Amino acid sequence: MRAMSPASVTAIIVTYNSQAVIGPCVEALQAQGVATLVVDNASRDQTIAIAREKGATVLACETNLGFGVANNHGAAAAETDWLLFINPDAVVQPEAVERFLEAVARYPEAGLFGPRIYEADGSYFFQPRSILSTYLKGNAGGKIVPSGDCCVPALSGACMLIRRDLFQSLGGFDPGIFLFFEDDDLCRRVVDQGNPILYVHEAVVSHLRGQSSTPNLKTAFLMRACQAWSRAYISRKYGVAYNPASILLINGLKYLVALVTFNAKRQARYGGTCAGTWRGMLGQPSPR
């Protein structure tokens, strides 16, 4: 394998009203020599202006294409050998990209690489399993904290590194998914093609989870609806056990409690889950 440098990597960042976080994300990547390509899903704030000011190339979409499709557009425009998909509320820590590339050289058989992630409160995030995992199915209890590089069943879509040719051969992110579970689906297809997924302990990323866009009740409803719909979609796609009636019953009861207690936030969450589950059960398109 030929020698690699950060110039071998293009970071693809999908934004939607992400003005509060896009600046630090782009700055950290460019400080490590990585080209940054922002694919903006029709933001109505200053996201595009800030991204361009920080030196990112911007692809401005006229409508909200969703996470996966927007990333696919970015991948099609990139020219480097490697793609780093990263959320706008994630910041690569010093030398993280170098540690990624060292792992690529050490483990050439791996197809997908993910970092050690810390949340805004300093807590450590690790994803020990996925509902689509076809291997590494151990159900170890408690907080799992790897002490070094290891194979994992799935990675968080907050940050993942993949060879561009492998990503293209897989058809990119599933365009049928508007939001949520795109990362699980991609991980499943990487593994099914015979490529391990690797957690890189020394590549560190901080993640301000949930701050990629400005929160409000409408957004909360839509996020939960998309998540529920996507769960139904991937369950059908891979034949995963799925009980929509139980989901509707539990969340419907919670929604009714939220109604009588005038809790608007809970109404948005549980109402969204019911709406998305119902649409998914009927085979209707994802809410957006």
The tokens describing 40, both together, are 């903006």
| pTM of the entire predicted model | 0.93
**Confidence check: pLDDT of 23 > 50:** yes
**pLDDT tens, 250-268?**
999 999 999 999 999 999 9
Give the mean pLDDT of the chain.
93
**pLDDT tens, 268-286?**
999 999 999 999 999 999 9
Q: Which domains does the chain have, with CATH numbers?
A: 6-207 (3.90.550.10), 217-282 (no CATH)
**pLDDT tens, 166-175?**
999 999 999 9
The percent of residues above 70 in pLDDT, for the chain, comes to 93
List, in order, residues 6 or more apart from 108 with CB less than 8 Å away: 1
Least Cα distance to 164 among 38, 88, 78 occurs for: 78
CA torsion 132→209→118→81, rounded to 10°? 60
Give the pLDDT band of residue 1 (cuts 50, 70, 90).
very low
**pLDDT tens, 41-82?**
999 999 999 999 999 999 999 999 999 999 999 999 999 999
